[in-house]
Chain A
């Protein structure tokens, strides 16, 4: 058999501008890349830089805290009956902020629905996220004005949209990268397979950023895949795969920056697996005590991304009480603003669902719209 011919053939098909045979056929490191240990001290990792401006380091910390605070407020609002549903990102703040912080405003983001940190960093108002969970409108409000696709509920299908956007960048000759935010569960979906294959074949500037939070509702990641890791799957597609400590914001920033840089230079896609943990329920409708125990939660609580990063900043002399107080004050203000915007927010005009199906309403829809308007007039 021509076993040793298989890999060069793959390389040629891939049309990659980068990557040696050793990289393609070589190992994916199973130990996640980490720059900060759980105790807040630096790791021995020296291939990636921790050297970011103090301002950037503080900015990321601030957004991690704000994300957690608003996440809590969203849960409160759901418990008070103001939101239909909310999927918490508790525990995933580093994975989200680190990844989004290194990107440019010209890059395109394709989220699933648990990416509150990403949305906030993009400048999407919390109430525009809340509109989706209150049931005011699908997908959130005006996400695309921030170069972020609307939240996508079907699992993994939006990975293909990210690839399409990346293929658009190749044709527009811009240097934007497109990022698909997916989870461990999504890696089982056929669309994610097709997306990774397309991105690799066309060497598109697309990054598949998988937050492996260990649970797809009740299914643990061990039962989601038989591969050594999610990152290992990259080898089969002919792209680099990287495992990163998803609770280490600097490591997430570093690997995403590396992947984005490679994509911008024409080096094609990257699969990143950020190993993190969903500390909360799948959504406010879920009861995780049915499928997981406290031991696991306690273990991950000790790996908390925010306290670890705070210790790191303290050791670096970048953190201060005043800084923390300022963040707390801002968080409080944002929580109040979110409550004010969501609490008792009026419903929209139902005729809008007829008016936004097509660019121009059809005769049949006009008739049905009029029927509903007449029905509602009778009710008054």
Chain B
């Protein structure tokens, strides 16, 4: 099934298992979501549990606090990454802080689904990388799947989690297919996955760029004989640094790849932590293949702007061929 279908199935299965789960947002019920991720939920669970809201993102998140306080498990959708910003205050000031504010007594089991990142030729505000805002916010968990299988299980884990989870859906992989095994539980939040073993360079990435890193690894092997190990971080917060460290110890070289702007992107934190904890294991500086410190470009230019095989290979070359 496609990633859209996997997330849809995840929602469906979770709602079947737990009647406290509510799905709501803009165009999610009758329309089934602009990407059809919530298709069929209205019919299956009725308008009390799957409902459209007025166009107001702060309210979509704000009502989660009251619903969660009263025992519900909200799974709101923010229609596109760029429209999460109006909800920023509710997420950062309330959803993330409520457990601490109540001395651990009241948790916010809210899963905020956000179709995210670029690469689909969308209009302005529809291709943003928002992850660092959430990772920087204590109290939130942040996950992003790279395959339909992982999308299904990460969503199930996110909804079952007693704390708020920001679930970033890589739009450009929405229509990719794989076999989703819904009977064998997938890895939990807080665990990264090595999706290609290699000896020379560790590539740390997540979301829509995992596929890019994997195909680039084949190129690197064929063209240059470089052996890349690709780590899909999956869970950006909490971060599975053990898996990162194990890989970097083995290869001694690391390249980080993400779409978001370079300055203070997640790569900055990863590189800082790697040099703090693994300095003497490193054969080369940690390099970053990222987006640039500009607003996201117009759709016709995004292919030039986004990190792809070329930018990744340049970095790999940089760590493999030190002067």
Which of B54, B56, B62 has the most A CB atoms < 10 Å from its CB?
B62
A34 proximal to B (CB < 8 A): no
User: Do B62 and A161 touch (CB < 8 A)?
Assistant: yes
- The number of residues on chain A lying at the interface, defined by a beta carbon within 8 Å of a beta carbon of chain B, is 47
Cβ-based interface call for A379 (8 A): no
With A137-B103, A138-B101, A157-B90 in contact, do A165 and B66 touch (Cβ < 8 Å)? yes
**Once the chains bind, are B138 and A160 in contact (CB under 8 Å)?**
no
Task: Kindly provide the distance from the CB of B91 to the nearest chain A CB, expressed in whole angstroms.
Answer: 11
| From A160, A169, A358, contact of B70 by CB (8 A) | A169
- Complex contacts, A227 vs chain B, CB 8 Å: none
Task: Digitize B30-51: 1 where CB-to-A-CB distance is under 8 Å, 0 elsewhere.
Answer: 0000000000000000001000
> Which residue of chain B lies nearest to A198 when distances are taken between CB atoms in the complex?
B59
A207 to B283, CA, bound (A): 64
Contacts of B99 in A (CB 8 A): 356-359
Q: How far, in angstroms, from A164 to B67 measured CA to CA in the complex?
A: 5
Interface contact A352-B69, CB-CB below 8 Å: no
Determine if B83 is an interface residue (Cβ-Cβ < 8 Å). no
Q: Which residues of B contact A190 (CB under 8 A)?
A: 58, 86
Contact check, A363 vs B238: say whether CB atoms are below 8 A apart. yes
Closest residue of B by beta carbon distance from A193: B56
The proximity string for A residues 161-180 relative to B, scoring 1 for CB distances below 8 Å and 0 otherwise, is 11111111111100000100
Chain A residues with Cβ under 8 A from B104's Cβ?
Answer: 355-356, 359
Q: How far is the CB of A112 from chain B (nearest CB, A)?
A: 14
A380 CB within 8 Å of chain B: no
Q: Is A242 an interface residue, CB under 8 A from the partner? A: no
- Measured CB to CB, the closest approach of chain B to A181, in angstroms, equals 14
Q: B residues within 8 A CB of A194?
A: 54, 56, 58-59, 62
Is A150 on the interface with B (CB-CB < 8 A)? yes
Taking the complex as formed, is A20 at the interface, i.e. its CB lies under 8 A from any CB of chain B?
A: no
Is there contact, CB below 8 Å, between A358 and B66? no
Partner of A357, one of B48, B72, B139, B241: B139
CB-CB under 8 A for A154 and B59, given A169-B70, A357-B139: no
Interface check B64, CB cutoff 8 A:
yes
A115-169 interface with B by 8 A CB criterion:
137-139, 141-144, 149-150, 152, 154, 157-169
Q: A165 and B69 in contact (CB under 8 A), knowing A144-B106, A154-B93, A357-B100?
A: yes
At the interface, yes or no: A191 with Cβ under 8 Å from chain B?
Answer: yes
Residue B105 at the chain A interface, CB threshold 8 Å: yes
Question: What is the CB-to-nearest-CB distance from B89 to chain A, in angstroms, rounded to a whole number?
Answer: 6
* Known A139-B102, A165-B66, A167-B67; further 14 A-B contacts with Cβ < 8 A: A137-B103, A138-B101, A154-B89, A157-B93, A161-B62, A161-B94, A163-B59, A194-B56, A197-B56, A198-B56, A198-B59, A357-B139, A362-B190, A363-B242
A-B contact pairs, 27 of them (CB 8 A): A138-B101, A139-B101, A144-B69, A144-B102, A144-B106, A157-B62, A162-B66, A163-B63, A164-B64, A164-B65, A164-B66, A164-B68, A165-B67, A168-B72, A190-B86, A195-B59, A198-B53, A201-B54, A356-B99, A357-B99, A357-B138, A357-B139, A358-B99, A358-B139, A358-B141, A363-B190, A363-B238
B interface residues (Cβ-Cβ under 8 A, vs A): 22, 48, 53-54, 56, 58-59, 61-72, 86, 89-90, 93-94, 97, 99-107, 138-139, 141, 162-163, 190, 237-239, 241-242
Report which A residues bind B (CB closer than 8 A). 108, 110, 137-139, 141-144, 149-150, 152, 154, 157-172, 178, 190-191, 194-195, 197-198, 201, 352-353, 355-359, 362-364
Q: Lowest 9 CB-CB distances: which A-B pairs, in order?
A: A164-B66, A160-B62, A164-B63, A168-B70, A165-B66, A194-B59, A356-B104, A362-B238, A359-B162
